[in-house]
Amino acid sequence: MKQSQIKDLYRFIFKSYDKPFLKEHIKKFMELDEYLPYSSTFFCVTNTQDLTFEYISKNYTACLGLDAKVLKTHGMRYFWNRIHPDDIDAWLSALNKLMEFTLGEISKPKRKDTNYTWNFRIKNGDGVYVNIIQNTTPLVFDSDGKPIIGLAHYTVLDPNIKMDITASAKLLNSKNEYETLYFNNFSQKLLNEGVSNRERDVIRLLVLNYTSKEISNKLNISSHTVDTHRRNILKKFNLSSTGELVGMIKMNQHWL
């Protein structure tokens, strides 16, 4: 395929979606996918109405070590089952808020020019949870203007990178530039909402390297109660040590 032909395919795929012809789009995706290089990004055509993937690019297996045929057969439920359990609540909250924002704040004619980004961790073929950044552009809408079919790009990042779960919505302006209309940090929100005031007091003092006995004196509670709070805090954040807790909090110091 010549460079000019690839450029023509890009123009076709990303042109106006006022009257999308999905079968034609998928045919062009398949043609283009054959010539795209292997990379840390794969793409899918997603159908949220049927919970299926209309198309899965070849890089899916290269990125995650998983079988594309299994994903095609079992659809989104299979994909969701591989998301890190600690990310589920924040991920669902992110999707829900993005949809609420779209239906409440973006007019139907402009929804075809929106672009959405969110992230989560997913278990790859080696059983390792890697970071995924998903960027989705709607292709088809239902009668209420709700996006149901989209072009989703997934970028895979190192599992050791610490990432809050965030979500954003962007809108293409008259200059063909994306403007951010919405952004939210859902990991931070869970951090704020999941801890009691007393647990918050204990965390603040732990970050200052106070012992349980010193914390009990400052808060006028028993050392046993402090230790109970510490165990509950670690359980809530799925951490194994106070050191991990302190490290996480120091990365989010604006929370204190």
Output the pLDDT for position 138.
Answer: 92
Q: pLDDT: is 32 or 18 the higher one?
A: 32
Q: pLDDT: is 83 or 145 the higher one?
A: 83
Within-domain flag for 116: yes
Q: Above 80 in pLDDT, residue 165? A: yes
Within-domain flag for 2: no
Within-domain flag for 25: no
For 20-34, the pLDDT digits (tens) are: 456 777 788 888 888
Residues 129 and 78 occupy one common structural domain: yes
Listed range (15-19, 84-88, 111-115) with the worst mean pLDDT: 15-19
Q: Is the pTM of this model over 0.95?
A: no
Output the pLDDT for position 174.
Answer: 85
Within-domain flag for 65: yes
Q: Which of 187, 208, 235 is the last residue of a domain?
A: 187
Q: Which of 187, 212, 236 is the last residue of a domain?
A: 187
**pLDDT-above-70 percentage for the chain:** 85
Q: pLDDT: is 60 or 203 the higher one?
A: 60
List C-alpha distances in Å: 244 to 81, 113, 162, 190: 26, 42, 12, 17
Q: Above 90 in pLDDT, residue 132? A: yes
Within-domain flag for 64: yes
Residues 176 and 212 occupy one common structural domain: no
Handedness of CA 174, 175, 178, 180 (dihedral sign): negative
Q: Above 60 in pLDDT, residue 256? A: no
Residues 71 and 126 occupy one common structural domain: yes
Residues 165 and 206 occupy one common structural domain: no
Output the pLDDT for position 166.
Answer: 92
Number of domains in the chain: 2
Within-domain flag for 77: yes
pLDDT bin (cut points 50, 70, 90) of residue 16 is very low
Q: Compute the distance between CA of residue 97 and CA of residue 252 in angstroms, rounded to an integer.
A: 22
Q: Which of 169, 187, 205 is the last residue of a domain?
A: 187
Residues 111 and 236 occupy one common structural domain: no
Domain at 130, CATH number: 3.30.450.20
User: Residue 146: helix, strand or coil by DSSP?
Assistant: coil
Per the structure, the complete domain to which residue 214 belongs is given by 194-255
Residues 142 and 219 occupy one common structural domain: no
pLDDT bin (cut points 50, 70, 90) of residue 1 is very low
Within-domain flag for 21: no
Which of 39, 7, 238 shows the shortest CA–CA distance to 121?
238
Within-domain flag for 242: yes
Output the pLDDT for position 140.
Answer: 86
Output the pLDDT for position 192.
Answer: 67
